[in-house]
């Protein structure tokens, strides 16, 4: 038997939805096999990483808080990816967002109220967008590859953070530990449910996907992004400005990452230290792909990734595997989703061996 | 400044340079074939743990290095199959490889934490290797010399061999190379495997030379510096060597600025925060890339097919 790929006339909607689900299930299956092979209780590890956070209600708040930044960043990145603009520097834009928010908070002093808090969040969006504006400027002006510049700038942002929290912004009462002073109560995001850690940012992360969905499916801008990505020549003929699309894609991606950083800072961590960049910006790329660059897909995929983060911490204590093991599962999901992309545009045909053999027999 | 200080500094800079030079040479070959593999950090960590485990089991660091190369190359094949066979997006696949390698190396490393492996002996007689002056030339790990030998070999391969010419043709114009009968996919498999092997050896430098112990995420982001290095060098072998030492020097400045108050003082360097020096390789890379992109006359350019999937028209 021979396997042949046939191009579909229309991309398969069934495969578009089925493959992410299959990827998650396959990851769990392979996880059990691989973990058993290296002498760890695979079933227990996979159950703890993928199911315990869903089944144990006291873990729900952790999942929600972790999902929020992943969803928000992924929404912005999906716009870029749809237009074939590859911003992989969301981690740096996330850092800059938090730093801008912190800067406004510090400038306002400890007496700030809700107005200052709103200003801090807006500053976060501006900070992330400003950091993404560098690759956008270089790309539109000199056609400099945005993949490489946005990635490099991420590592620059870590040093900017290190300098600020270890120098000018260091908490004077912090025992010389490189971190900003904790935010006063009045400058932290309100908690949605008393007694939990679920803050206003989670609500924003739940609402934004629907805003983006309307934006992408009902507006001219959404149409422009889709056309530029799928048919650049047609887009040029249609009068859509390629440079404008690049700017929009990167500014929205950066702005969303900055918003996520500001929300994480004001809602969750309340102080910035060297551990602030925790990889959300990179994991959000997985979320965007797993969610098929669809806003509602990103919402669901953000929760899936958040489950593996929380589950990784569970497995750390139950089966004694390092926290970063969750990364293996996250990467496997991305591997499977990327591998299955081909099924959307191609149909797999199994050609019986008989016909193939009969021609070879004469040679 | 005392001569001891200068010698110690040079030894440190060479130690900082070697891993990024090794990984950079590998990534250079991969990128020359038209493939952008962002998984360098993951492959380095897979090499670091593979080399460490093999050395711990066989007590032979030479076998360990072979294991490191194999570990790096094997993990790169995950990327290769997805990118070459299934035409998956190179950027996303490479990132996935970095995340995967970081996680898997941590997991494998758990049972080896705290163990110490035998290190390389000197390949030169002690008269030279331990001499306070001559050790500047003869006192290094064999991997340092290996990296230095690989530089002219890589340059020669790319410039003067038939295979190197084919590799560059595949990276510059895959369709032409395909139409005159070269296997684009085959060449790229080989280039990705070489990139993986070299990243693996570069990673092993951390677990087998710098310390004889394993620590999670011990390459500490050097894979990304290696990636920057290839771009900074404008995809040229000679500039890659110079760039590697320049980046090594910047990393040394960072360490030096951090260690404020220890050893001799260089007020000019210590007046500037260490983070400035740490950010420099990345800033310089963005500047270099901008120069390369904005004017064609800097004698360097990215391979034309870099990052693009190859879809034969038949």
Q: What is the mean pLDDT of residues A17-31?
A: 89
Q: Where do the domains of chain A lie?
A: 2-360
Start-end of H helices in B59-89: 61-80
**Chain B contacts of A348, Cβ < 8 Å?**
none
Number of C-beta neighbours around residue A354 at 10 A:
8
Buried b (16+ CB within 10 A) or exposed e, B116-129: ebeebeeebeeeeb
What is the structure's pLDDT at A349?
Answer: 76
Looking at this predicted complex, what is its ipTM? 0.86
**CA dist., res. B301 & res. B304, Å (int):** 8
Is residue A356 over pLDDT 60?
Answer: no
pLDDT tens per residue, range B70-129 = 999 999 999 999 999 888 889 899 999 999 999 999 988 888 888 888 888 777 777 777
Length of chain A, in residues: 363
What percent of chain A is predicted at pLDDT more than 90?
39
Q: What is the mean pLDDT of residues B212-220?
A: 87
Q: What is the mean pLDDT of residues B185-189?
A: 94
CB spacing of B217 vs A147 below 8 angstroms: no
pLDDT tens per residue, range B253-295 = 888 877 765 556 666 666 778 888 888 889 988 988 888 888 7
**Chain A contacts of B109, Cβ < 8 Å?**
322
CB spacing of B96 vs A321 below 8 angstroms: no
Q: Which residue has the higher pLDDT, A257 or A83?
A: A257
Give the closest-approach CA distance of B121 to chain A in angstroms: 32
CB-nearest to B289 from A145, A160, A328 is A145
Is residue B166 over pLDDT 90?
Answer: yes
CB spacing of A338 vs B88 below 8 angstroms: yes
What is the structure's pLDDT at A177?
Answer: 86
CB spacing of B289 vs A335 below 8 angstroms: no
Give strand pairing partners of A6: A347
Q: Which residue has the higher pLDDT, A5 or B13?
A: B13
Enumerate residues 6+ apart whose C-beta is below 8 A from A122. Answer: none
Q: What is the mean pLDDT of residues A8-34?
A: 86
Band of the pLDDT at B68, cuts 50, 70, 90?
very high
Q: What is the mean pLDDT of residues A172-186?
A: 85
Query: What CATH number does the domain located at B3-298 have?
Result: 1.10.3470
Please name the fold of domain A2-360. Answer: ABC transporter involved in vitamin B12 uptake, BtuC (1.10.3470)
What percent of chain B is predicted at pLDDT more than 90?
52
pLDDT tens per residue, range A96-119 = 999 999 999 888 877 778 888 999
Q: Which residue has 């960049």 as its token pair?
A: A277
What is the structure's pLDDT at A357?
Answer: 46
**CA dist., res. A258 & res. A69, Å (int):** 10
Nearest CA in chain B to A282: B95
**Chain B contacts of A325, Cβ < 8 Å?**
103, 106-107
Q: How far does CA A170 lie from the centroid of its chain?
A: 29
CB spacing of A151 vs B224 below 8 angstroms: yes
Give the closest-approach CA distance of A189 to chain B in angstroms: 31
Mean pLDDT computed over every residue of chain A: 87
Is residue A320 over pLDDT 50?
Answer: yes
CB-nearest to A144 from B106, B278, B293 is B293
Give the closest-approach CA distance of A80 to chain B in angstroms: 13
**Chain A contacts of B107, Cβ < 8 Å?**
38, 321-322, 324-325, 328
**CA dist., res. B227 & res. B97, Å (int):** 14
Is residue A362 over pLDDT 60?
Answer: no
CB A65 within 8 A of CB A202: yes
Q: Is B314 helix (H, G, I), strand (E, B) or coil?
A: coil
Q: Which residue has the higher pLDDT, B188 or A145?
A: B188
Is residue A68 over pLDDT 70?
Answer: yes
Highest mean pLDDT (candidates A234-243, B36-45, B245-254):
B36-45
Band of the pLDDT at A225, cuts 50, 70, 90?
confident
Q: Which residue has the higher pLDDT, A352 or A90?
A: A90
* pLDDT-wise least confident of A222-231, A257-266, B134-143: A222-231
Q: Where do the domains of chain B lie?
A: 3-298
Nearest CA in chain A to B104: A328
Nearest CA in chain A to B108: A38
Length of chain B, in residues: 314
Nearest CA in chain B to A281: B95
Give the closest-approach CA distance of B138 to chain A in angstroms: 35
Give the closest-approach CA distance of B150 to chain A in angstroms: 25
CB spacing of B100 vs A342 below 8 angstroms: no
pTM score, whole prediction: 0.89
CB-nearest to A163 from B99, B107, B275 is B275
């Amino acid at each position: 038997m021979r396997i042949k790929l046939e191009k579909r006339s229309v991309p398969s909607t069934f495969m578009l939805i089925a493959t992410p689900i299959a990827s998650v299930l396959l990851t769990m299956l392979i996880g059990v096999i691989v973990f058993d092979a290296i002498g760890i209780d695979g079933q227990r590890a996979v159950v703890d990483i993928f199911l315990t956070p869903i089944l144990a209600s006291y873990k729900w708040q952790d999942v929600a808080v972790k999902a929020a930044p992943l969803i928000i960043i992924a929404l912005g990145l999906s716009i870029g990816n749809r237009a074939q603009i590859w911003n992989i520097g969301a981690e740096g834009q996330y850092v800059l967002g938090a730093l801008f928010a912190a800067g406004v908070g510090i400038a306002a002093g400890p007496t700030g109220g809700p107005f200052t808090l709103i200003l801090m969040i807006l500053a976060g969006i501006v900070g992330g967008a400003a950091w993404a504006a560098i690759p956008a400027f270089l790309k539109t002006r000199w056609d400099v590859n945005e993949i490489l510049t946005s990635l490099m700038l991420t590592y620059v942002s870590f040093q900017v953070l290190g300098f600020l929290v270890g120098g000018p912004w260091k908490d004077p009462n912090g025992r010389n530990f490189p971190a900003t002073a904790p935010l006063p109560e009045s400058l932290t995001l309100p908690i949605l449910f008393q007694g939990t850690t679920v803050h206003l940012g989670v609500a924003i992360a739940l609402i934004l996907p629907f805003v983006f969905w309307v934006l992408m499916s009902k507006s001219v801008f959404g149409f422009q992004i889709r056309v530029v990505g799928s048919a650049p020549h047609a887009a040029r003929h249609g009068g859509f400005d390629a440079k404008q699309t690049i700017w929009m894609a990167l500014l929205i991606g950066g702005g969303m990452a900055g918003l996520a950083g500001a929300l994480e800072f004001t809602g969750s961590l309340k102080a910035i230290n060297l551990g602030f960049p925790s990889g959300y910006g990179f994991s959000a790329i997985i979320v965007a792909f797993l969610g098929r660059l669809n806003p509602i897909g990103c919402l669901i995929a953000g929760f899936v990734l958040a489950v593996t983060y929380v589950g990784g911490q569970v497995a750390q204590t139950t089966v004694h595997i390092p926290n970063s093991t969750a990364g293996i599962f996250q990467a496997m999901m991305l591997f499977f989703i990327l591998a299955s992309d081909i099924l959307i545009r191609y149909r797999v045909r199994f050609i019986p061996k008989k016909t193939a053999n009969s021609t070879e027999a004469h040679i | 400044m005392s001569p001891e200080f200068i010698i110690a500094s040079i030894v440190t800079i060479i130690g900082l340079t070697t891993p990024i030079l090794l990984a950079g040479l590998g990534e250079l070959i991969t990128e020359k074939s038209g493939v952008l593999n962002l998984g360098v950090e993951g492959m380095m960590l897979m090499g670091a743990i593979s080399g460490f485990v093999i050395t711990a089991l066989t007590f032979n660091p030479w076998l360990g290095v072979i294991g490191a190369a194999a570990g790096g190359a094997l993990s790169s094949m995950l990327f290769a199959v997805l990118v070459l066979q299934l035409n998956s997006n190179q950027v996303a696949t490479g990132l996935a490889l970095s995340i995967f390698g970081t996680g898997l190396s941590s997991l494998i490393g758990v049972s080896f934490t705290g163990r110490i492996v035998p290190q390389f002996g000197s390949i030169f007689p002690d008269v030279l290797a331990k001499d306070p002056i001559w050790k500047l030339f003869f006192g290094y790990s064999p991997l340092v010399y290996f990296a230095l030998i690989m530089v002219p070999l890589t340059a020669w391969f790319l410039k003067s061999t038939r295979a190197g010419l084919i590799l560059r043709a595949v990276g510059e114009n895959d369709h032409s190379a395909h139409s005159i009968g070269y296997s684009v996919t085959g060449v790229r498999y080989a280039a990705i495997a070489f990139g993986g092997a070299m990243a693996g050896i570069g990673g092993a430098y951390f677990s087998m030379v710098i310390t004889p112990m394993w620590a999670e995420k011990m390459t500490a982001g050097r894979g990304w510096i290696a990636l920057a290095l290839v771009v900074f060098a404008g995809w040229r072998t000679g500039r890659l060597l110079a760039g590697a030492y320049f980046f090594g020097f910047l990393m040394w400045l960072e360490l030096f600025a951090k260690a404020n108050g220890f050893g001799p003082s260089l007020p000019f360097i210590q007046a500037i925060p260490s983070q400035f020096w740490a950010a420099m390789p990345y800033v310089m890379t963005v500047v270099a890339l901008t120069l390369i992109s904005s004017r064609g006359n800097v004698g360097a350019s990215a391979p034309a097919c870099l990052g693009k999937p190859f879809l034969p028209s038949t």
